Each structure stands twice: as C-alpha cells, then as structure tokens.
A and B are shown apart, each in its own frame.
Chain A
Amino acid sequence: MYHKGYVALGIVLFLALLAMPYWVTAGKIKYEEIEKELAPAKGKCVYDEEWMAKYHMELLKDWRELAVRHGVRHYHTENGDFNVSLTECWKCHDYNNFCAKCHNFMDVEPVCWECHYNPSMNYSTVNYIK
C-alpha cells in the first residue's frame, strides 16, 4: 500500500463523518416514546387522533384559507362544532406540553406564533380565552 498515512487519515475521516449523529449531540441521544409524554386533552378533537397527528397542519392551513379568504368562521365535523381559528385549539390543548413538546421532538418550528397567540405567551388582553 502506498501513502499509508494519507489513506488511513481518509478512512478515519470517512468513518467519523458516518458517526455524525453521535458527535454532534456529544453522544447524548435520547429515545422518547413521545406519544406517551403529551399532555392529555379535553373533549374530542376536530377529527380522530390518528388523522390529527398526520394532518393538523393541513387542517390549519385550510382553516386559514376558509377564514381569511372565504369568511367561513364555523366548522362542523362529526365530533362537534368548531370555530375556525387557531385559538380554538387552546380550549382543549396545552401549548408547552402538547404542541411544543411534539414540535421540539420533531424539530418543527411553525412560523404562526410570530403573529398568532398561544397560551405560552403572557398577554393579559387575550386571557379571556383561557
């Protein structure tokens, strides 16, 4: 074998790159059964749980369209009547221990909170929602 030093260095770097998930977290990767850690919610969700887990962002997107473009503010499903609004979620869900917990786990950062309210924010004017 020629240029043993360079080749060995190359192989070491190659292996180091493959081990990236370990060293970028300093070896502390936590396995979480996230479904079991979410705060329980009240009542019944807009659709069933499985559907919500997959499609809640689509639902919110559709709701935004419905409310802002078409002025539809009420939404009826077999689980009941809902106001077409982001704040509707806070009737039953906690923000920090529900939405944010799962989003942090998945590394999702919705931009919505730049404008919209969620209960982790402390605004006295909107506290009537709680």
Chain B
Amino acid sequence: MSDALYVFYILPYVAFAIFVVGTIYRVINWARSAVPLKIPTTAGQQPTFKFIKRTWLDKIDSPSNKWWAFVRMLFEVFLFRSLFRNTRYYIEKGGKNVDARWLWLFAVLFHYSLLIIVLRHLRFFTNPVPNFVKTIEYLDGVLGVAIVPPLLMTGVIALIALAFLWGRRILLAKERCISLPSDHLILFFMAVILVSGLLMRYIVKIDLTYVKMFALSIVKFTPPSPEVLANLHPLFLVHFTFVCITIAYIPFSKVMHFAGIWFSPTRNMPNDNRMRRHVNPWDPNPEVPILAREGITVAGVTYKSKKLDWETYYEMYKDQLDEIAEKNYTLKAEEF
C-alpha cells in the first residue's frame, strides 16, 4: 500500500515535464508562424502633424514604437484592457448597449486571487519561509483575523468569481451556446481545486505538517518517508492530484492564453504603417507574386494566376459552386 503511494510523489514531476515541454513547444510553434500583414487595432490618434495633439492614452492605444507597444501589452496583460473595452456586445431590442463589464471585473478578481493564492502556497515549498510570503498572507488575512484560522479573502473572492464565470456559461443563453466542453472542463478543475483547498483550511482539518514535508521533499528531489505519505489526508490527495492534472493539461488547453496573449498581432505590433513598411516575412520582396509563382492547389490541381479572378475561382470550386447555383442562387463576381 505505502509503495503505491509513491505514485503521488512521481505525479508532480510528470505533470511539470508535460507542462514545460508542452508550453515551450506551443510557444515555438506560434513563433514560427509568420504575420504577413500589419494588423494593429487601435482607437487612438496616430502620430501626424505636430499640431495634432497626442495624449499618453493615444500613445498606449496607438503605439508608434516598440516601447509604447510594450506598454500597451502590459496594460493588456495586467489589466485585461481588451476585455474591459470589448464586453458590451449585448444589444437589446431597442438597440441599446448593455454594460457587460462585470465579466472584466470577475476575470480580474479571479486572476489576481489565483496569483496571490499561488504565491501563498510558497509557504509549503520553502523552509524557512521568505518574508514576502508572510506579508502576503498577513495582508490577505487582515479582514478575517477574528476567525480561527484567519479567513483569507482571496480564497473567498476566487470562489465567488469562479461561480460567476461558470454561472455565466451555464445560465446565459448566448454563452451557453458558445461554450465548449473544454471551457467547462477547466472550470470544473478550478472548482475542485478551490473547494477542496477551502475545505481543508476551514472545515475538514488535516495535519498540515505532513503536507509540508511532502511538498519539501518534492522541491528537494528527495523521496519522502513512507510515514509522511501514509499520513497524507485523502482530501489533500484529491486537491494535489487535480492540481497536477491541471498543470499537465495546460499546454493542451485554453489556459495557454497566458503565453498566447504575448503573440496577439493586434496587440503587440506598433501602429507604424505609415512610417515603416511591413514586409511579409515568409515571402519578402518577391519578383513574381506567390499566386503566380506557386499558385493554389485545390483537389490536386494547381492554379496559377496573377490575380485571383472569378474565372479561376469558379474553376477551382466548380462542383460546390454549381451545387449552390442549382438551388436557385445567383453566382457572380462582386462588382467593385
């Protein structure tokens, strides 16, 4: 029995190996895909004549160099600026916009609570515990200090925010339609981790000393004694297993947005279209355009043309287009 428990000692290493390799693989995969066009989306004033003023907000919104693009990125990563500006998409019957920025609020609360919770967990992985971890824990608990053990607000906030974020996907019709199973899966993982953690802290008391010895043995790469493993509480093992599963699942999941956000072309490109020429990186300065040089291959036949005109297009997709035409649709080239 106690030998079998060593599975839990191996588990975090496997999970982290998958996480690190998977994340680096995906990041490099993204870095290899070219961005052929300059597509920054902006709402601010571009640099132009001296007498047209640009405030610092314009500079963040419409950055003209790498530095301001970096600042915009920081706003995006730390304040979820796109989410803040982009959630008012409900249109009621009267054509009125509905403020849906509560999504931004709960997203911010959830992410920052999670960050603080992760930092607080350093108390299990370090010995002696560094002072900043103690400070974080103290500040986190100042409001709930009369309770034994002190109520840490981030745990509560994360739970409430999670309930909203999941409730939104379950209760709102539009969100329910666009939610994939994977959206629910990651929220389910988060829910299990949060609830089991809160239970252990406030309701089902467990002997934390063994938990800490177990955590230390993981970071020290020294297998724990069978005694330590035998004393780990089942609820802790649930908590721990789900954390490992989540970590291993990250590279395959939407949680990869923590790396992907840095690759958003509309956010990380300076808006300097008029100052600098953007060259398509996978086909720089072609003598013959790629359409004429390599052409497009459809169903094994390669079509080369200087410009993709209607005749070539029709030839490419003849079968499908005819099928559409049979249903009494008129097919013709768009007039410009």
Interface residue ranges, A against B (CB under 8 Å): 1-4, 7, 10-11, 14-15, 18, 20-22, 24-25, 29-35, 50, 53-55, 57-58, 60-61, 102, 104-109, 111
Contact = CB atoms under 8 A, between A and B. Distances in A.
A37 to B, nearest CB: 11
B173 interface: no
Contacts of B35: 2
A64 to B, nearest CB: 8
14 contacts: A2-B31, A2-B281, A4-B31, A10-B27, A11-B24, A11-B27, A21-B122, A25-B126, A31-B216, A58-B148, A105-B127, A106-B123, A106-B208, A111-B150
B222 A31 contact: yes
B252 interface: no
B128 interface: yes
B78 interface: no
A33 B207 CA distance: 14
Given A54-B205, A107-B134, A10 B262 contact: yes
B128 A104 contact: yes
A109 B209 contact: no
Given A24-B132, A109-B138, A1 B209 contact: no
A24 B123 CA distance: 11
B129 interface: yes
Contact of A7 (B27, B138, B213, B216): B27
B105 interface: no
B217 A31 contact: yes
Nearest to A56: B205
Contact of B213 (A11, A29, A33, A55): A33
A55 B128 CA distance: 24
Contact of A10 (B134, B138, B212, B259): B259
Which interface residue of A21, A33, A34, A35 has the most chain B CB atoms within 10 A? A21
B98 interface: no
Interface of B is mostly: helix
B20 interface: yes
Contact of A105 (B133, B209, B222): B209
B135 to A, nearest CB: 11
Contacts of A10: 27, 259, 262
Contact of B31 (A3, A30, A111): A3
Nearest to B150: A111
A7 B212 contact: no
Interface in B197-229: 205-209, 212-213, 216-217, 219-220, 222, 225
B207 A53 contact: yes
B160 to A, nearest CB: 25
A7 B28 contact: yes
A54 B16 CA distance: 30
A104 B138 CA distance: 14
A3 to B, nearest CB: 6
B123 A31 contact: no
A29 to B, nearest CB: 6
Contact of A1 (B31, B206, B207, B262): B31
B128 A25 contact: yes
B24 A22 contact: no
B305 interface: no
Among all A-B residue pairs, the 9 with the closest Cβ atoms: A21-B125, A107-B123, A107-B129, A61-B148, A7-B31, A54-B205, A24-B130, A25-B126, A1-B31
A49 B27 CA distance: 51
